[in-house]
Structure formats: structure tokens, C-alpha cells
Structure 1
């Protein structure tokens, strides 16, 4: 392009100094300017297309990286969820086991309390019976004795 500007400057100076200068020479130079402008435009278009392709490629890489990161995060979340579910199930099972043991112990304590109360009642009845027998015996022994008065 610089060469064309130099040539244009030279031809402009020549056209001012030389009366027999042919203007078609400048027209030919202007066509060269036009061709050079189209080449520059085409190069810019090609450069723009290359940048677009590069940006598109980088965007695709970024999307793939994001998808990969999201997949890893979801896998980690699923593992965490499964681990939490198994921990919760184990804790639930443990609590159910403790509750079942407490229920059995409560039933055994109830049976023991029932047995102890029956034995207590039986002992009380035996004691009352023995007291009554003793009282009846004492009364019957006293009735055979005659008072001297």
C-alpha cells in the first residue's frame, strides 16, 4: 500500500508539471488501489473468520470443561447423598434396635413387677392367715381357762 501511495504522489507531481500527462495512468493506479483495498478487506475477513473459529473452539472447550465440572460435581453429590442415606439408615436401624431392646426390657420389668406384687400379696395373705390362726388359737386357749373370781 505504501508503494501505491508513493506512486500516486509521483504521478500527481508529474501531472502538475507535465502538460502531456495521460490521466488514464492515474486511473490504472486507482484500480490498483481498489484491488489492494479488496485484498486488505479479504484479509480482514479471513482474520475475522479465524478469530471467530478460535473463539468458537475456545467456547466449545469451555462448555466441555463446564459440563465435565458439573458431571464431577453431580457425581460427588450423588456419592455424598448415598453416604448420607447409608449413615441415616444405620442410625435409624440403631435407634430401632435400641427402642426394641427398651421395649423388651420394659416387658421384662413389667413381668418382674407383676411377679413381685403377687409374691408380696401372697406373703401378706400368709402373714394375715398366720396372725388369724394365732389369734384364734390364743382365744381358744384362753376360753378353757376359768377365772378364779
Structure 2
């Protein structure tokens, strides 16, 4: 483009100095300017398309990276969720086992209390019977109990 500008400057000077100057040479030079402009425009357009493709490639790489990171995060979340579920199931099983043991212990304690109260009642009845028999013997033998 600089060579064309130099040529244009030279032809302009020649046109001013030479009366026999043919203006078609400037027209030809202007056509060269036009061709050079189209070439520059095409080169710029190609460069722009190249940059667009590079940007699209970069965007695709970024999307792929984001997808892989998101997939890893989801996998980690799923593992965490499974671990928590397993822990909760184990804790629930432990609580159920403790509840069953507590129920059995309660039943055993209830049975023990029932047996103890029956034995206490039996002992009380036996004591009352023995006292009544003793009192009856005392009345029948006319002896008074020292108490």
C-alpha cells in the first residue's frame, strides 16, 4: 500500500508538471488501490475468521473443562450421599437394636417385679397366717404372748 501511495505521489507531481500527462495512468493506479483494499479487507476477514475459530475452540475447551469439573463434583456428591445414607442406616439399626434390648430388659424387669411382688405377698400371707396361728394357739392354751 505504501508503494502505491508513493506511486500516486509521483504521478500527482508528474501530472502537475507535464501537460501531456495521461490521466488514465491515475485511473489504473486507482484500480490498483481498489484491488489492494480488497486484498487487505479479505486478509482482515480471514484473520477475523481465524480468531473466531480460536475463540470457539477456547470456548469448547472451557465448556469441556466445566463439564468434567461438574461431573466430578456430582460424583463426589453421590459418594457423599451414599456414605451419609449408609451411616444413617447403621445409626438407625443401632437405635432399633438398642430399643429392642431396652424393651426386652423392660419385660424382664416387669417379670422380675411381678415375681418379687408375688413372693412378697406370699411371704406377707405366710407371716399373717403364722401370726394368726400363733395367736390362735395362745388363745386356745390361754397363754398370753409377751409382746
TM range (shorter): over 0.9
Gaps of 5+ in 2: none
TM-score, length basis structure 2 = 0.96
Deviations 1:45-99 (A, max 9, x none): 0000000000001011011001001100000000000000000000000011111
3-state SS of paired residue (2:22): coil
Q: Does 2:39 correspond to 1:30?
A: no
RCO comparison, higher one (Cα < 8 Å, 6+): 1
2:54 alignment partner in structure 1? 54
Q: How does 1:75-86 map to 2 (within 5 A)?
A: 75-86=75-86
TM-score, length basis structure 1 = 0.95
Gaps of 5+ in 1: 144-149
How far apart, CA to CA, are the structure 2 residues paired with 1:46 and 1:142?
140
Residue 110 of structure 1 and its aligned partner are, at CA, apart by 0.2
How many residues are paired up?
143
Q: Does 2:12 correspond to 1:12?
A: yes
Q: How does 1:1-149 map to 2 (within 5 A)?
A: 1-142=1-142
CA RMSD of aligned residues (A): 0.8
How far apart, CA to CA, are the structure 2 residues paired with 1:104 and 1:14?
121
Deviations 1:106-141 (A, max 9, x none): 000000000000000000000000000000000000
